[in-house]
Amino acid sequence: MEGSVPEVDGQIVFSKTINASGKSKADIYKALAAWASARYMAEVENGKWNEAAYFRNLQYSKVVKADSQAGLIECQGNEEQVFSNKILSKDYTVIDYVLTISIAEGKATATMHNIAYTYDFQLDRERRPAEQVITDTQVFSKSGKWIKQNRKFRIKTIDLANELFHEIEQTIQ
């Protein structure tokens, strides 16, 4: 769907403010810090191979910054996302991104940005920023039809952003 990937100053940025009315900044921070440390632990599998949303945290996944006074948690995502997994072939990408969570009294704002993919775009694996892969101009032809190659990246990225926001919402509710 056109317009479903938000751009801010030419960069793809997914953002959502989640309300947790009645909860203090300290309580929200404590819950999200625990969630982040478990979610971004390197070399941990989440999901199952037979699920479409399967992913595996790779070696560079980590919590980069956690500052309770400032109410800030910054995580580096480095995950394997599988498009298809067949007996003799596996189509996947490694997605890198930064998730920044700003915490205040009664709310948290999560922002997913600096997104990039490592994939066999041509003949060799190469790294490309999301701005070159999943924007409307990269995913839709001039006639408005999907460009199949980039469609899977866009769908998986939107799903990942929604999943992260949902997990954060469940954690602080």
Q: Is the pLDDT of residue 34 over 60?
A: yes
Q: How far is CA 7 from the centre of its chain?
A: 15
- DSSP assignment, residue 148? H
Contact, 156 vs 9, CB < 8 A?
Answer: no
Query: Which of the four pLDDT bands, split at 50, 70 and 90, describes residue 50?
Result: very low
Contact, 92 vs 76, CB < 8 A?
Answer: no
Q: Which residue has the higher pLDDT, 139 or 17?
A: 17
What are 56-75's pLDDT values in tens digits? 677 788 999 999 999 999 99
Tell me the CATH number of domain 8-127+163-172, given options 3.30.530.80, 3.40.640.10, 3.40.50.620, 3.40.50.10580.
Answer: 3.30.530.80
Q: What percent of the chain has pLDDT over 90?
A: 52
The residue extents of the domains of the chain are 8-127+163-172
What are 116-140's pLDDT values in tens digits? 999 987 778 889 999 999 988 788 8
The pTM of the full predicted model, rounded to 2 decimals, is 0.88
- For residues 135-160, average pLDDT: 83
